[in-house]
Amino acid sequence: MDQAAGLRRLVSERRQDAARVIAIASGKGGVGKTNIAVNLGLILARQGRRTLLFDADLGLANVDILLGLIPRYSLKDVVGGERRLEEIIVCGPHGLLLVPGASGVQELADLAPPIRDRLIGELTSLAMGLDVILVDAGAGINRTVLSFAAAAGEAIVVAMPEPTSITDAYGLIKGLYRLNVTMHLLINRAGWTEGRQAADRLRGACQRFLQLDLPLLGIIPEDPRVGQAVRRQQPFCQAYPTCPAARALEEAAARLWGKELPPNRGGGFWQRLSRLLGR
């Protein structure tokens, strides 16, 4: 049985529950957002949750590289009508499903309505029965990033303790706040003290200017094992499951899954995304 046929059978056997959709975003690049998305997806899949990682970082799609996978096709082939979505999916460690992105492809927000509707329809069918969809939504504040996060209704904002990262994260948070997105803050590559101080500064600004109580999901420490895992093209939670970064992210995942789910915003994620991108 070829991989696409196997995945079709797997999806058809799953129960028809709505997935929890979480966008993972950052105010600027270089903060480790994609690495967080990959490893969080792996943790959830390893726990038995049916997890799909959607590589929507259209400027620099590289989730497959961090997983050590070589997809034959990508989202570009689906957009071009050459492949169906189910044909491009790659199955990673512990059954983690990946929709590979396409580096440099910026046309998602500019798709003709018939093409966008076809893509959304395929995504909707695929998502049926999943427990969670993680969307690597790219860095910065732009229409596509905000649309993915708004459609999800829930987002993890990844930041580093440097002042520029905190400032850019606040800009992203303001944009997501206006869209009524439930947010969680994750400080990456920081010692406990500096990470806590950075989180307190950012959370204080949110409380003062937005009247927003931004929950801190966790602080992921600077860990040399993370870089070593990247060079091995493996998620650090798989290559070094007991390293400090892996343990901290597992704790963050437990907090995330223990939180009350955000309210349903009407319609499925992909339909909401279609409406937002179609504005």
Can you give the CATH number for the domain in which 176 is found?
A: 3.40.50.300
d(CA 165, CA 171): 10
Pick left, alpha or beta for residue 188 (phi over 0 → left; psi -120 to 50 → alpha; otherwise beta).
beta
Q: Is residue 42 part of a domain?
A: yes
Q: Is 3 contained in some domain?
A: no
Number of domains present in the structure of the chain: 1
Tens digit of pLDDT per residue, the chain (279 long)?
A: 454 454 444 444 433 447 899 999 999 999 999 999 999 999 999 999 999 999 887 667 689 989 989 899 988 888 788 998 889 999 999 999 999 987 655 555 566 777 767 777 777 777 778 999 999 988 888 887 888 888 888 999 999 999 999 999 999 999 999 999 999 999 999 999 999 999 999 999 999 999 999 999 999 999 999 999 999 999 999 999 999 999 999 999 999 998 655 554 445 776 777 777 665
CA angle 233, 69, 269 (to 5 degrees): 110
Q: What is the 3-state secondary structure (H, E, C) of 104-142?
A: CCCCHHHCCHHHHHHHHHHHHHHHCCCCEEEEEEEECCC
Q: Is residue 49 assigned to a domain?
A: yes
Indicate whether this model's pTM tops 0.75. Answer: yes
Q: What does the chain come to in residues?
A: 279
In a domain, 279, yes or no: no
Q: Is residue 151 part of a domain?
A: yes
Question: Taking Cα atoms as reference points, which of 88, 14, 95, 93 lies closest to residue 51?
Answer: 95
Q: Is residue 208 part of a domain?
A: yes
Pairing of strands 97-99, 90-91: antiparallel
With respect to residue 6, please indicate whether it lies within any of the assigned structural domains: no
In a domain, 255, yes or no: yes
Domain that holds residue 63: 22-273
